[in-house]
Amino acid sequence: MTYDERLQNVAVLGAAGKMGSGILLLTAVEMADRALQAENKGKTFVLNAIDVSEDGLAGLMGYLRVQVRKIAEKKTIWLRQMYADRDDLIENYDIIDAYINDVLNIVHPVTVMEAANKANLVFEAVNENRSLKVKLLDGIKKNNPNDVWFFTNTSSVPIHLIDEEAGLDGKVIGFHFYNPPAVQKLVELIKTDSTKQEVADFALQYAKNLNKVVVPSNDFAGFIGNGHFMRDGLHGIKEAQELAKDKNMPLYKAIYMVNKVTQDYLIRPMGIFQLMDYVGIDVMQFILNVMNPFVEDETLQSDLLDKFMEQGVKGGQYSSGAQKDGFFKYKSGQPVAVWDIHKQEYVEIEKFKDECDEILGDLPESAVPWKSILRMKNKEEVLMKFYTDLKSLDSLGAVMAIRYGKRSKEIGEKLVKDKVAAHADDVNTVMLTGFYHAYGPINNFFE
């Protein structure tokens, strides 16, 4: 079966979810683009968007229409070539509308799993629940007469377990998009010892056609991205708890301070507690629970996360993309208050910000904001100067930042040592591309 033939009938499970909708958009556009090729004229391409939520699927179609229009507007020259035989399409807006219709006509929103039983390729983007994934894929395998292949978007469950428990015979691969899939360039590609080479070859071709940056990860729970982020987050929690104890201050102040250090001093797009809110405290706890049984030399668990969950503070995002309240309360996307686990209420940051900032101390004059550093051609030189200056300070913020940077490097190096990542460059690429860090964790800045 050729690449185009494989794409003639595809199913996405969890299509109305945040990850599934992005995967569906990218796949629908790729399928439509293949259908426009001369050799495929007259052939039928079907993309089954499968989800349990009818309302979610209705919203999905509206999302697709808006996003496909944006995509079409960026490639009108190519579309003119593809529609050259259509005399009825004169203006650019005619061509754009025709393309939108072609893409949307490929998508079939359904709430029944049976729609996947004719697919050649199945993308799985349901909840990070191993039992659910196995149940769904096993059902498709048993009822689909085709040589069906499976791409799972799991960010933590070992692929070989899904393969073995669902009886997929090596016709499965971990294809971990980063959130949101339509924007994020990174894909972690996870093969098992049993993954068929033709499945891996197709996955690489598909990723290439989507203009993704592919980083291979070995098949270990959490892979590279969550392997680093989960441990990085646990370190941030530990730092906050120890700071609160050492300074005899409320934990909410310590959370604010560690978040500030990880954003401003480590030059990241957001602090570690904001990032945990973005991902979702509930999601983070779930992923840690998935990963923990597979590690022998550490415990991936946090009593603080458990406490937040008990109090119903979960973070995450609304379907609109707006940030839900978690460690922080948000207004217009910015943190304005921190959750006090003792009083179970949010405390406004403005009430204690100046006090905490003074305790942390000032940044060196060589400090550069995250957005600025990304555009610099001499980034390495600027970063080295900043961290050299930071190491010369004895302020609390400087000491915490250096300690945090060293721990981040340890985590990255351990991923290589444990053969989760083949090379240090792979770890750095994941954090640079998938998490938008200004530099990779495996560096010489904190020595």
Reported as a single tens digit per residue, the pLDDT across 287-305 is 999 999 999 989 999 999 9
* Per-residue pLDDT tens over the stretch 371-418: 999 989 999 999 999 999 999 999 999 999 999 999 999 999 999 999
Q: What is the model's pLDDT at position 317?
A: 87
Q: What is the rounded distance in angstroms from the CA atom of residue 28 to the CA atom of residue 49?
A: 10
The partner residues of 177 in beta bridges, in order of sequence, read: 187
Q: What is the model's pLDDT at position 313?
A: 97
Q: Alpha helices, DSSP H only, in 74-166?
A: 76-82, 92-106, 130-143, 159-166
Sign of the dihedral through C-alpha 430, 435, 440, 441: negative
The domain segmentation of the chain, as residue ranges, is: 3-217, 225-434
- Under the banding of pLDDT at 50, 70 and 90, the label for residue 232 is very high
Q: What is the mean pLDDT of the chain?
A: 96
Q: What is the rounded distance in angstroms from the CA atom of residue 127 to the CA atom of residue 413?
A: 30
Residue with tokens 């990542």: 421
Evaluate the omega torsion of the peptide bond into residue 250 and state whether it is cis, within 30 degrees of 0.
no
* Per-residue pLDDT tens over the stretch 242-275: 999 999 999 999 999 999 999 999 999 999 999 9
Parallel, antiparallel or unpaired: strands 186-190 and 172-177: antiparallel
Q: Which DSSP symbol is given to 8?
A: T
pLDDT (mean) for 118-145: 96
Largest separation between any pair of C-alpha atoms in the chain: 76
- Which of these, 257, 255, 439, lies nearest to 354 by C-alpha position? 257
Name every residue whose Cβ is closer than 8 Å to that of residue 69 and which is 6 or more positions away in sequence. 96, 100
Say which amino acid occupies 171: K
For domain 3-217, which CATH number applies: 3.40.50.720, 3.30.460.80, 3.90.1300.10, 3.90.1310.10?
3.40.50.720
* Per-residue pLDDT tens over the stretch 134-188: 999 999 999 999 999 999 999 999 999 999 999 999 999 999 999 899 999 999 9
Question: Taking a C-beta distance cutoff of 8 angstroms, is the pair 418, 230 a contact?
Answer: no
Name every residue whose Cβ is closer than 8 Å to that of residue 194 and which is 6 or more positions away in sequence. 160, 163, 169, 170
Token digits of residue 447: 């020595």
Q: What is the rounded distance in angstroms from the CA atom of residue 413 to the CA atom of residue 415?
A: 5
Please count the CA atoms within 13 angstroms of the CA of 342 that sit on its side-chain side.
6
Q: What is the rounded distance in angstroms from the CA atom of residue 323 to the CA atom of residue 347?
A: 18
CA 98 to each of CA 84, 88, 285, 369: distance values in angstroms, whole numbers, following the listed order: 12, 10, 45, 44
The partner residues of 216 in beta bridges, in order of sequence, read: 189
Question: Taking a C-beta distance cutoff of 8 angstroms, is the pair 96, 83 a contact?
Answer: no
CA 76 to each of CA 93, 287, 442: distance values in angstroms, whole numbers, following the listed order: 9, 42, 42
pLDDT (mean) for 77-101: 94
- Under the banding of pLDDT at 50, 70 and 90, the label for residue 90 is confident
Q: Which DSSP symbol is given to 371?
A: H
Q: What is the model's pLDDT at position 399?
A: 97
Question: Taking a C-beta distance cutoff of 8 angstroms, is the pair 307, 326 a contact?
Answer: no
In this prediction, what percent of the chain has a pLDDT beyond 90?
A: 94
- Which of these, 109, 107, 98, 122, lies nearest to 36 by C-alpha position? 98
- Which of these, 352, 348, 322, lies nearest to 336 by C-alpha position? 348
* Per-residue pLDDT tens over the stretch 189-213: 999 999 999 999 999 999 999 999 9
Say which amino acid occupies 409: K
Q: What is the model's pLDDT at position 322?
A: 87
Q: What is the model's pLDDT at position 318?
A: 83
Token digits of residue 212: 């993704």
| Residues composing the chain | 447
Question: Taking a C-beta distance cutoff of 8 angstroms, is the pair 46, 109 a contact?
Answer: no
* Full DSSP string of 305-321: HHHHHHTT----B-TTS
* Full DSSP string of 184-246: --EEEEE--TT--HHHHHHHHHHHHHTTPEEEEE-SSTTTTHHHHHHHHHHHHHHHHHHHHHH
Q: What is the model's pLDDT at position 277?
A: 97
Is the CATH code 1.10.1040.10 the one for domain 225-434?
yes
CA 132 to each of CA 2, 64, 135, 197, 202: distance values in angstroms, whole numbers, following the listed order: 30, 26, 5, 26, 25
Q: What is the model's pLDDT at position 321?
A: 77
